[in-house]
Structures are given as structure tokens and as C-alpha cells.
Amino acid sequence: MAFRGDDASALRCVLPFEAVPGEFRLLRSAVRSTLGQWGVPGAADEVELVVTELATNVMKHVGEGAAATLVLEPRGSRLRVELHDKSPVMPKQVGVADCRQECGRGLHLVASMSVDWGTLLTGTGKTVWCEVTVVADAVYARAQRAYTLLGSYRELLGVRVPRQVSRSRVNQEAAVTLIADLLVWLTLQGSDPDEALYRAQQLYEAGEAA
């Protein structure tokens, strides 16, 4: 992936706001606009949801109208999202079994969508932060095409997703089977499967570098 700009490490967005419902729409709009300027608009939906949950937690547990600041900062292939407020009270970190509780439910969602998250006490209050994986739009589009294709391929194979097994794991098995079937098809067409794999690897590496 690549954030737009000569020096991605220098990109940083600081958005002060008040924790009231009317501000959240403006905050989401600013997030979407910023990610578009940085060249990763495909991440906007996920980041907007994370930001909304963090901002809503401030309104619920610090107080409606409380002053807060959102910070967005690219870090390699991740986007760090920080929510700063002036309360030193640290939020409860809840597990799946506790996610029905009103307190901490938003943070449970944030944790499930992030590759890492945590809280920090600061000199003026606290920071709740998380990091989400961000990919360039071209790479995201290719992944979405594959995901859609795998759904149809699972149906063709008659494979269902058991409740106790993650969809990701089932999709991985289906992807391997699909690749094997394609190699068989290429062989029957008189093509060299090794050459096809080599070309596919080149396309994959080109996408990773995008």
C-alpha cells in the first residue's frame, strides 16, 4: 500500500471536536476527506466506524459536550487512530462474553476491527488508540474480487461455513482448491502451470508494492 505524499511519515491529521451527536457527522466527513487526500479512500468506511465508536464512548463516559481530539497518523501499512480526552478514568477492556454490557461495548467493536489497540494516561487526561490495516484501493479491489469469486466457488463445491469455523479459514481452503483446479484447467489447455504460477506471483508482488 502507499499513502499519497513524498513522506508518508510526515502525514498527520489533528481534529478537535466536542462530543455531541451533531459533531460526529462532521468528524466522519473530515475523516473521509483526509483519507481521500492521502490516497486510501477505500479504508474510509472502516475508519469512520472506529472513529464513531471512540467518539461515542467519550460522550457516554466522559460527558456530552466534552472536548476531545481525534488524531490520524499513517504508520507503515497501518493507520493509527487516537482519541484524546481530558478524563483520567480508563475505560474497561471487555471480552466477548461481556460485550452485551453497555459499558465497553463500543471498545469491544473497536478491538475486533483493529490489529492492535490500547489506552494511555496523559498529562491532561487519557488517549484511547487503535491501529487498522490500510491497503491501496487497487489492492483492496483485487481482494474484493477474490472474496466474491470464492463465495460463488464455495457454493459450486457445496461447501458451507460451519459455525465453529471462521469464514476466513473456509475461504483459504476454497482458495487452495480453486488454484489447484485452475492449474488442472491450464494443463488441459496445453499451458505450462509453472509459468502461470510465476506470472501470478509477479502480479501479486506488483500489487503488494502498489
Domain extent listing, the chain: 8-133, 137-208
Amino acid code (one letter) for 187: T
Q: Sheet containing 67-75: which strands, arranged edge to edge?
A: 13-18, 67-75, 78-85, 125-133, 116-122
Fold for 8-133, please state it: Heat Shock Protein 90 (3.30.565)
User: Which cell goes with 177?
Assistant: 482448491
Residue-level length of the chain? 210
**For residue 64, what pLDDT band results from cuts at 50, 70 and 90?**
very high
Give the separation between CA 61 and CA 15, rounded to whole angstroms: 20
What per-residue confidence (pLDDT) applies to 167? 66
Q: Give φ, ψ of 78 to 5 degrees.
A: -120, 160
Tell if the pTM clears 0.85, that is, is over it. no
pLDDT confidence tier of residue 90, bands split at 50, 70 and 90: confident
